[in-house]
Each structure stands twice: as C-alpha cells, then as structure tokens.
C-alpha cells in the first residue's frame, strides 16, 4: 500500500483535515497523561533515569476539524529519551512544524532523587522530589517554567514561645516555580527550599541523627509565612531569575486544617 509523505495510507479518508465551519480556534489540543521514560540532568554532573508524565498540545487553527494525535507521539519518540532543558525548545519547534500549528505547549512531570547523608552518622539514603518542566513556543519566542516540589519540616514559633516544654512541628510541602536564564539545576532549587525550613528531611536516620534533626528544627522555628519569605529573600536579587512563585503548605499536626502561603514576583522579561 502506498503511503503519502505524512505516512497516511493513500485513499483513506483523512477526517482530521476536513474543514470546520464554526470559526473557533482551539488553544490546546493533544495528548496528556502519557508516561514516557526520560533521562534528566539533576545537577552539573548528575543525570538519572526516570519516568515522566507528559502532556503535549498544540494550537488547532479554526479551519481544521481535528489534530493528528499520532504525530505528537512521533515527535517525542524522535526526540529520544534524554531530556535537557536546552532541548525543550527544539521539541516544541518540531511539534509546530509537524502539526502545521502556530503554537505548541508541553509539560513533563517526573520524580527524581538526591542522595543525602544523615547529619551525624553520615548514613546515606535517597530522598525523592518532584519536578515539572512547563514550556510554550510560537514562531518568535519560547517560555520555560521549572518547578520543584520538596517536603520539609517546620516548627511553630508561636508554639515554642508559649510552651513550657516542646513545640508542635509538622511536615510541609514547598512548590518553587521560576523562569531563569539559564534554567537553575534541580538540585540547586531543592537546596534553596531546604535551607529555608526548620529542617530538611532524610530517608535514613539513626538515633544520633534523629536527635540532631529534632534539635535543629527546635532551634529554627518558622511559620509558613517565614518559609516563603526565606526562599524569596534568597532568589529576589538573583540576576538569572526573571520570575518566580513560591508556595508553602504545612500539614498541621494540632489543627484540623493546613496553613498556606504564596509569594510571586515578576522581576524582568526573560
């Protein structure tokens, strides 16, 4: 059977290319919740394999009835399993060309791991985090937002101030998203978050380590407000960063609700 250059069997009806008369552009159409193996750079000398949940979409002109979903898969398959931030623009341009579109968008969300040594015994262990690349490109420009989600420990300053013994503490989750040139390494973003909390988390803690972490958190109480401000103070004047947003949510240990704070700032055009 003869194939056209679009790899479609000649003679079969191409319904997606048929005209639509409603004069409505679809902003994003494509595939989501696709699982795809990738290899990512965590730091300057650290790459690791993971599995990403992927969304690939493109703008559909008003004159076309539908898009060709298989082409999204063909583009990501041709790109290969190694995903570097500098290659994201190329992937988007490939989508635009392949789909005859004006604009394309992608999201890659994936877990990654950092090895951390316990603070006293040095026992090694892997700690997991979540990262997300969200990017959009058109014929003239492209935009990339890098997001890291990390868990931390926070100890309540109010509880410490009013209690004769102890203070309540809890696990908190921080989401840091930013635009930067060049994109910040994921490990650097994690470090920004963890040093802003009462204590970072570990996967392996022996008794001396547990004592050290508990005492460290007690010595560094932070409200959820302190947590986002501590991060903001570190990145506010970073010349690499054009825009940032930091969110923190504490899973309160003595309240039947969570505590939440957000700070966002646009510094300059990237």
Degrees, nearest 5: CA angle 46-51-56: 110
Q: Tell me the pLDDT of the chain averaged across its residues.
A: 90
Average pLDDT score over residue span 142-146: 95
Give the confidence band of 237 by pLDDT, cuts at 50, 70, 90.
confident
DSSP class of residue 240 equals T
- Rounded to an integer, what distance in angstroms lies between the CA atom of residue 215 and that of residue 90? 48
Q: Closest Cα to residue 217, out of 225, 229, 206, 209? A: 209
Question: With 60 as the cut, is the pLDDT of residue 43 above it?
Answer: yes
| 3-state SS assignment for residue 215 | helix
The residue ranges of every structural domain in the chain are 26-266
DSSP class of residue 227 equals H
Give the confidence band of 270 by pLDDT, cuts at 50, 70, 90.
very low
Give the confidence band of 4 by pLDDT, cuts at 50, 70, 90.
very low
Q: Closest Cα to residue 67, out of 105, 108, 33? A: 105
Residue 3: per-residue pLDDT: 39
Q: What does the pLDDT look like over 83-94, one tens digit per residue?
A: 888 889 999 999
Residue 2: per-residue pLDDT: 35
| Number of residues written out for the chain | 270
Degrees, nearest 5: CA angle 138-30-26: 65
- Rounded to an integer, what distance in angstroms lies between the CA atom of residue 154 and that of residue 86? 35
Give the confidence band of 16 by pLDDT, cuts at 50, 70, 90.
low
- The answer as to CATH 3.40.47.10 being correct for domain 26-266 is no
Residue 107: per-residue pLDDT: 97
């Amino acid at each position: 059977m003869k194939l056209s250059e679009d790899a479609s069997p000649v003679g079969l009806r191409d319904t997606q290319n048929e005209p639509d008369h409603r004069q409505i552009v679809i902003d994003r159409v494509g595939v989501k919740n696709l699982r795809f193996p990738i290899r990512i750079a965590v730091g300057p000398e650290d790459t690791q394999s993971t599995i990403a949940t992927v969304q690939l979409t493109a703008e559909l002109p008003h004159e076309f009835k539908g898009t060709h979903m298989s082409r999204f898969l063909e583009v990501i398959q041709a790109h290969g399993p190694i995903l570097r931030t500098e290659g994201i623009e190329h992937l988007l341009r490939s989508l635009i060309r392949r789909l005859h579109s004006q604009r394309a968008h992608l999201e890659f969300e994936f877990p990654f791991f950092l090895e951390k040594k316990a603070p006293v015994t040095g026992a090694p262990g892997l700690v997991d985090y979540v990262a997300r690349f969200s990017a959009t490109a058109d014929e003239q420009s492209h935009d990339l937002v890098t997001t890291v989600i990390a868990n931390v420990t926070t100890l309540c300053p109010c509880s410490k101030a009013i209690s004769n013994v102890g203070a309540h503490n809890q696990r908190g989750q921080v989401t840091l998203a930013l635009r930067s040139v060049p994109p910040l390494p994921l490990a650097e973003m994690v470090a920004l978050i963890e040093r802003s909390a009462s204590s970072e988390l570990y996967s392996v803690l022996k008794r001396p380590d547990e004592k050290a972490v508990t005492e460290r958190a007690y010595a560094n109480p932070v409200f959820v407000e302190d947590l986002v401000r501590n991060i903001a103070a570190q990145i506010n004047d970073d010349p690499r960063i054009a825009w940032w947003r930091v969110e923190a949510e504490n899973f309160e240990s003595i309240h039947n609700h969570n505590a939440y704070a957000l700070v966002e700032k646009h510094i300059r055009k990237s």
